[in-house]
Amino acid sequence: MTVLEVLNAASEYLRKKEVESPRLNAEHLLAHVLGKKNRIDLYLEFERPLGEGERAPLRELIRRRSEGIPLQHLLGTVDFLGNIFATDARALIPRPETEQLVEIVIAAGPFEKIADIGTGSGVIAGSLALKFPHAAVTACDISPAALDLARENAERHKTTELITFCESDLVGSLAGPFDAIVANLPYIPQGEMASLSREVRHDPDLALDGGPDGLDLIRRLAGEAASKLAPGGLLALEFGHGQAGQVFEILSSHNFRDISRRRDYQNIERFLTARHG
């Protein structure tokens, strides 16, 4: 079978298994098997025959993808703001929306001292360290496994000396003040956890479950962050669909000012920035 024939067969199989974007998934997985840096390189080799030694590992990856294993877990990496980070079941798979959160913080900078709360795989802390190499970045998470992954990503991007990692429940054990605190905390309401897609359910529950209404951790952070921010310091948050109004009220009740609600590229109110002091 040629590259094109294999792609067509794999795409059709994934389509029947109701995998979203089956052709794109098949291209990424075949490029991964063949060691291509870019799936577009496959288009230059459509007529090349593929031997059994190349088709067998692809079949296994296609099978696992059809069972709901996320594409990013199968590839082991994710592209975030043009940089490649490792990703696996230890932490939430970084979403494209979170790239916008980082862009918002970058536009508000520069900063000298930044905290990334609930760092997960470390893509926020790592991206900010790459953008602001003279800043002191602190990345914290309650999950030791997630912190291990974040450290591996820091080693990958040679930012280990720029980032301090700490196991912490929100900001409780951090020494402020910070010029900016950034957080993409769990915000899924408990009642919606069972209805999440099979791909999302491969993320750790700890990275998804936000309590009864999804805002437990954001409430706690709003109360704790004020004492950890420098005067006029920035708080930048990501949250779920339909939660913007509640998050606005939470921050208002903790005397944050200049509260700004921002939309993502799908026109959903997804982010909020505020100042304190």
To which residue do tokens 């820091």 refer? 154
Amino acid at 203: D
Q: What is the DSSP letter of 173?
A: T
Percent of the chain with pLDDT over 70: 100
pLDDT tens figures, 7-47: 999 999 999 999 999 999 999 999 999 999 889 999 989 99
pLDDT band at 176 (very low <50, low <70, confident <90, very high): confident
pLDDT tens figures, 64-81: 999 999 999 999 999 999
Both tokens assigned to 275: 């100042």
Average pLDDT of the residues in 175-189: 95
Neighbour-count burial for 248-271, b at 16+ CB within 10 Å, e otherwise: bebbeebebeebeeeebeeeebbb
Q: Where do the H-state alpha helices sit in the chain?
A: 3-16, 22-33, 52-66, 71-75, 96-108, 123-131, 144-156, 216-225, 244-253
pLDDT band at 171 (very low <50, low <70, confident <90, very high): very high
CA-to-CA distance for 172 and 197, rounded, in angstroms?
Answer: 33
Task: Write down the pTM of the prediction.
Answer: 0.93
Instruction: List Cα–Cα distances, 257 to 92, 115, 238, 273, in angstroms.
Output: 30, 19, 17, 9
Instruction: List Cα–Cα distances, 220 to 18, 67, 188, 223, 271, in angstroms.
Output: 39, 37, 15, 5, 17
pLDDT score of 173:
84
